[in-house]
């Protein structure tokens, strides 16, 4: 049997930009993507801590070490600059792999710099 398990999570990311006219997606600092084991065009689940909104989109690589977290396209209606987000990816795993897998969890500070890796 396969189960959908948390693969990686970025906790307390701060929205730095929104762009309603963009075609869609979430632009994220390349360094954060690399540290969280996330790749461009990967599906992400977004949980807005500030307002409770939840949505699914995909990632676009932003400039490295820029701290950018930009909510784009229609999703820009669900977040504002300064909102805090949880950004999560999931993976299908068989029961045997679950016992050995540990998700990557990054906790960020208010400037989208890594405060802690779990």
pLDDT digits over 13-28, tens only?
Answer: 999 999 999 877 999 9
Structure confidence at residue 110 (pLDDT): 96
Q: How many CB atoms lie within 10 A of CB 95?
A: 9
Q: Is the pLDDT of residue 36 over 80?
A: yes
Structure confidence at residue 116 (pLDDT): 97
Out of 41, 58, 70, 90, which one is annotated catalytic?
Answer: 58
Strands (DSSP E) found in 63-97: 69-72, 84-94
Q: Is the pLDDT of residue 1 over 90?
A: no
Is 25 one of the annotated active-site residues of the chain? yes
Out of 25, 41, 66, 100, which one is annotated catalytic?
Answer: 25
Q: How many CB atoms lie within 10 A of CB 91?
A: 15
Distance CA 113, CA 69 (A): 11
Structure confidence at residue 79 (pLDDT): 97
pLDDT digits over 74-111, tens only?
Answer: 999 999 999 999 999 999 999 989 989 999 999 999 99
Distance CA 93, CA 68 (A): 31
Structure confidence at residue 23 (pLDDT): 76
Q: How many CB atoms lie within 10 A of CB 107?
A: 14
Is 70 one of the annotated active-site residues of the chain? no
- pLDDT band at 9, cuts 50/70/90? very high
CATH number of 2-117: 2.40.40.20
Q: Which of 40, 32, 37, 35 is nearest to 85 (CA)?
A: 32
Domain ranges in the chain?
A: 2-117
């Amino acid at each position: 049997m396969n189960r959908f398990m948390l693969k990686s999570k970025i906790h307390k990311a701060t929205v730095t930009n929104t762009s309603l006219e963009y075609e869609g997606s979430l632009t994220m600092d390349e360094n954060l993507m690399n540290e969280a084991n996330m790749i461009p065009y990967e599906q992400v689940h977004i949980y807005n801590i500030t307002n409770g909104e939840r949505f699914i989109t995909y990632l676009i690589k932003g400039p490295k070490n820029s701290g950018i977290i930009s909510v784009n396209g229609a999703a820009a209606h669900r977040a504002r600059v300064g909102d805090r987000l949880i950004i999560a990816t999931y993976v299908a795993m068989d029961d045997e792999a679950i016992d050995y897998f540990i998700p990557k969890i990054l906790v960020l500070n208010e400037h989208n710099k890594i405060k802690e890796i779990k």
